Each structure stands twice: as C-alpha cells, then as structure tokens.
Amino acid sequence: MLVQRIATGAVGVPIIIALIILGGPTYVIVVAAILAITTIEFFNALGNPDAPASEATFVDRLSNVFLKQRPIAYLAAAAVALLAVAADNGFDEFTGALVAAIAASFVYLILRGDPEQGMRDWLIGIAGVAYIGFLGSHLVLLRDVPEGKEWVLLAVFATFIADTFAYFLGRTLGKTKITPRISPNKTVEGTLAGVVSGVVTVLILNWALGLDVDIEKILPLALLLPVAAFFGDLAESMIKRGAGIKDTSDFVPGHGGFLDRIDAVLFTTPLVYYWVIWVVL
C-alpha cells in the first residue's frame, strides 16, 4: 500500500502540475471528468446496495462502481461536470448551471414516480452535486482569477503536503486519537504535523510562486488552509464511516478513489478562492 501510494504520487504530481500550468479547455475538461467520476464514487458509497465483497477482483469492483449505478448517479455526475464547465465561463454561468441542476433533479424525481426510493436517490444526488460539484468547481473558478495558475498550485500542493505530513507522522509518531468514531487512525500528533507543514508550505509557495502577498494577508490564509484540509478529510471519513466502507473505489492505487484523494482539496480550494477575491485582490 505504501509503495503504491508513493508510486502514484510520483506519477500523478507531474501530471497535475502540467495540467494546472497548461490551463485552458484541457484543464477544465480534466477537472470536470475527475469531478464526475468522484460523484459516481460518492453515489456508490451511499446508494449502491450491490457493492461486491472486498475479495472480488479489481475489475469487478471498478465495474460495479462505474458501470452498475442507477440513472440518478449518472445524472448527478453529468450535472457536476456541467458545473465545472460553466464555472470557466464566469460566476453567473456557474450559479445558473447550479440552479438548472437543482431544478432538473426535481423533474427526475417527479418522472421517477417512486416517492420512497426516488426521494432517497434524489437526496444523495443533490448532496453529491453540492459537495463535489459546487465545491470542486472552485478549482476552475480559482484558475481563472489573476495569477490563477499560482493560486491553484498553492491551494492544491499546500493541501497535499499537509495531508502527507499528517499521514506519515501520524503513522510513525501518532498515539493520541483525535476522532476515533469518525477516523480511527487520525491522531493529535499527525494533525499537528499537518497543520504546521501546511502553514509553512503556504508561506513558502507564496514566495516561490512569485505571488508575494503581504504577510498580513497571507499568514491568516496559511493558518486557515490546513484547518480546512483537516475538516475536509474528516468530512469524507464521516461519509465512509457512515456507509461502512474503507475507500470510495480502487481507481487511484494506494489512495483509494478520487474522492479519497481530493476530499481536503474540496474544502481548501473554495477557501483560497474567496480569500483571493475578498482579501487579496
């Protein structure tokens, strides 16, 4: 597992950097695709009663997650992808797409004609659109602000580094459980390591990426980002704990699914976006 985790990072990090630097339609399409896949993972975790046993083959497990969902899962994934694409056209288009997605979900519920199962599917679908679509689309909104490339790099990699330090130091030095009912492996020691590393990384990236934001503006963000990452990670852990699963899929070797990898980013990217437009600009 550890070797897979490191190998995936070694392959994935350069690709992520290249996509963020490239920007444009390619970046938007990839973000939209990842968020759509993540939505299906989310729906699978909460709404798929036919999940195969853990001893099933890798192909069977992936097939079950991505090819054997009810229609609402694919509709929600399409709505999330639409949100990401609309975000590239501006905040008004983004909010308009969100309104359209919510309205369309009611049409689906009515046409379904099954109040009990339909309502359950609808609630999970709306939750996925809000949690993954609304929050995740800020990856596109942030890329489009002035110096957006640098801000996305800061948001994503400060989050990844905080998560990595929390994971490794928690495994090696962690003793005091912090949220045993939600995330049994999360410790006070690992969390503190994540917070400290996150603060330092934001400050370093502010300088290294040439953002050069004044200390009185960047320091509060540096303090808030790892805290947001912590709660983003716990939010997904709570979902998985409630669903009785370990990972949302096997799509990312060593990490689980896309949702397992970007859970904290879903919280930190909106934080950085609104900090930029409300405080920095």
Neighbours of 196 (CB within 10 A): 15
Reported as a single tens digit per residue, the pLDDT across 68-84 is: 777 888 899 999 999 99
- Number of structural domains in the chain: 1
Question: What is the reported pLDDT for 121?
Answer: 81
B/e letters for 79-111, b = 16+ CB within 10 Å, e = fewer, are bbbbbbbbbbeeeeebeebbeebeeebeebbee
Phi, psi dihedral angles at 252 (to 5 degrees): -115, 100
Nearest-angstrom CA–CA distance, 169 and 182: 19
Contacts of 94 (CB under 8 A, 6+ apart): 83, 86, 87, 137, 141
178 in Cβ contact with 186 (< 8 Å): yes
**Tokens (6 digits) for 240:** 């998985």
What predicted TM-score, i.e. pTM, was given to this entire model? Answer: 0.91
Which has the higher per-residue pLDDT, 70 or 25?
A: 25
Query: What domain range includes position 193?
Result: 2-280
Under the banding of pLDDT at 50, 70 and 90, the label for residue 56 is low
Which has the higher per-residue pLDDT, 60 or 87?
A: 87
Strongest mean pLDDT among 5-9, 110-114, 194-198? 194-198
Reported as a single tens digit per residue, the pLDDT across 149-191 is: 999 999 999 999 999 999 888 888 888 999 888 888 889 999 9
Which of 6-20, 58-72, 193-207 is predicted with the least confidence, judged by mean pLDDT?
58-72
Is the pLDDT score of 255 beyond 90? no
